[in-house]
Amino acid sequence: MPLSKNDMVLVDYVVRVKESGEVIETTSAEKAKEYKVYDPNKTYEPLLVIIGEGRVIKGFEEALENADVGVDVEVEIPPEKAYGVRDPDKVKTIPLRDFLRSGVRPEVGKVVEINRQLGFIRNVSGGRVVVDFNHPLAGKTLIYSFKIIKKLESVDERVRYLIARHIKGVDVKEVKLSIDDSSKSLTVELPRDTYLSENIQIAKKLISDDIFKYLDFNEVVFIERFVKGG
């Protein structure tokens, strides 16, 4: 059954570059190890996708809209619906002295920020540095192999996974929720191991923003509970 705007789903996927076969991203630790791209510092878990939100590339979101839960799908996504075609005008030649003046030693492959734009260095020679401001995947056709693991139906599930979106690695089962329907108030008690997480206050603000946007609440209250001797 096709998905509708604001439907929330959990998706497992592997993304490959068609031209090279290179695996550039996956939500599965098992697949990451299989393709030898495993990063022990990364959290591998299904991705929360909200249909119509625009946080994933257009071609992937379109494929999700027409996919069924639990069914393996493989789709080829052209550059126009991925990261765009390559724009030659985004490749700039910059004098080497400009980098040295800023205390930056340019090296091929290094990512640099210039005028609030990120680019990577393609070439350094003859006192000139060639910087490419195209997205690294611009011009690439991508192959997404994916499966919708679950469609989130209940308010409880939706809240838990909106929390997990902004606090990586949190156990959604350990989050305690209390809903007051009359006042449309939501009370959230996070696991204690999140209390000192980096940027936790920013995470709470982002969680609240998402809850207000996608669910019918007027208030979100976060509780921190400390127990004597605990």
SS3 per-residue string spanning 55-109 = CCCHHHHHHHHCCCECCEEEEEECHHHCCCCCCHHHEEEEEHHHHHHCCCCCCCC
The H-or-E segment that residue 50 falls in is strand 47-50
CATH of 1-84+137-152, one of 1.10.287.3510, 3.30.465.10, 3.40.50.12780, 3.10.50.40: 3.10.50.40
Q: What is the pLDDT of residue 1?
A: 66
Asked if residues 146 and 76 have their Cβ atoms less than 8 Å apart, the reply is no
pLDDT in tens, 212-223: 999 999 999 999
Q: What is the pLDDT of residues 121-138, one digit of tens each?
A: 999 999 999 999 999 999
Note the pLDDT of residue 2.
82
Residue 140 is predicted with a pLDDT of 97
Tokens of residue 32, six digits? 């990451």
* Whole-number pLDDT of residue 230: 67
- pTM of the model as a whole: 0.87
pLDDT of residue 106: 93
Taking Cα atoms as reference points, which of 75, 42, 65 lies closest to residue 146? 75
Which residue ranges of the chain lie beneath pLDDT 70?
Answer: 1, 230
Q: Which CATH number fits domain 88-132: 2.40.10.480, 3.20.20.120, 3.30.750.24, 2.40.10.330?
A: 2.40.10.330
CATH 3.40.50.2300 fits 154-230, yes or no: no
The residues, any chain, with a CB within 8 Å of residue 141's CB and separated by 6 or more, are 17, 18, 19, 76, 77, 78, 79, 82
The torsion region of residue 114 among left (phi > 0), alpha (psi -120 to 50) and beta comes to beta
pLDDT reported for residue 181: 95
Question: What integer pLDDT is reported at residue 102 of this predicted model?
Answer: 87
Taking the C-alpha atoms of residue 62 and residue 106, their distance in angstroms, rounded to an integer, is 40
